[in-house]
Structure 1
């Protein structure tokens, strides 16, 4: 089990997207693996290009904040974000989103009660084809909107 000394928050900077959240940073929990590297331990709601299990390099600023400067290695996992359509059959329920995707055993986190976006970690060995088929069906049938925050070649080629 990791101790508190090894767990750090890594901060990411990005350009806010128009019509999206105004934030330009996101902090993700990570486990230190070296003097300036850490393994991401949760799923990103806003930052693109990083997934749970990826190792990132960081620099520590004068305030003690650890800022990501690049990805060192990929775990092969993907990040998928799903937002239920409030007027659709799932309503605003993140639990209903989890239920629809439960057959794939994906771990996910809910952004907030006000904005029930679910960010899922899709493990490298998951059924990418089946997940993509269901995500597209759900979007076509207005259950949800989704985006891929971090996809691998295996994801895009499935």
Structure 2
């Protein structure tokens, strides 16, 4: 029984605090699922919608408060992945469809999540080693042609140099 517990993977939620951006969501926290690695580190397991500077697969350090919440205090290491957020323009050719955004970027096999039906932002994980130049070219083309708006929430040196 003890050996099974030692090998169990513990999923936790790591919370991030940030200053809300003007004209954006009023939230000042975001919780991301993570796999605990030690008493104070965990690997992020999903794509952030609001938090900048962290991507899926990154290892973060956290402190646990008296309520048992795990608050991020810094990034320990990068997995080399990038976070890209795409919002379809309602009056554009994709309408409000997150599925159309996924289809538009499907050649790159990016994983992602949709924020909500009311706000169809798609947060994508662009994995290390992906065709960053191709992804960036398509994102820019889509923005120029009125398909979507996008932002990079976490980019690596490889992303910025692609």
TM class, shorter-length: over 0.9
TM-score of the superposed pair, with normalisation by structure 2: 0.95
Aligned to 2:105, what secondary structure does the other structure show?
A: helix
Query: What is aligned with 1:155?
Result: 159
Query: What is aligned with 1:130?
Result: 134
Query: What is aligned with 2:64?
Result: 60
Structure 1 residues not aligned, in runs of 5+: none
Report how many residues are paired: 156
Structure 2 residues not aligned, in runs of 5+: 1-6
Query: What is aligned with 1:93?
Result: 97
Match among 31, 44, 54 for residue 40 of structure 1: 44
The higher radius of gyration belongs to 2
Query: What is aligned with 1:31?
Result: 35
Aligned to 1:99, what secondary structure does the other structure show?
A: helix
TM-score of the superposed pair, with normalisation by structure 1: 0.97
Q: Deviations over 1:78-105 (max 9, x none)?
A: 0000000000000000000000000000
2 CA distance for matches of 1:151 and 1:81?
12
Query: What is aligned with 1:69?
Result: 73
2 CA distance for matches of 1:122 and 1:132?
10
Match among 137, 142, 146 for residue 142 of structure 1: 146
TM-aligned CA deviation for residue 32 of structure 1:
0.5
Aligned to 1:70, what secondary structure does the other structure show?
A: strand
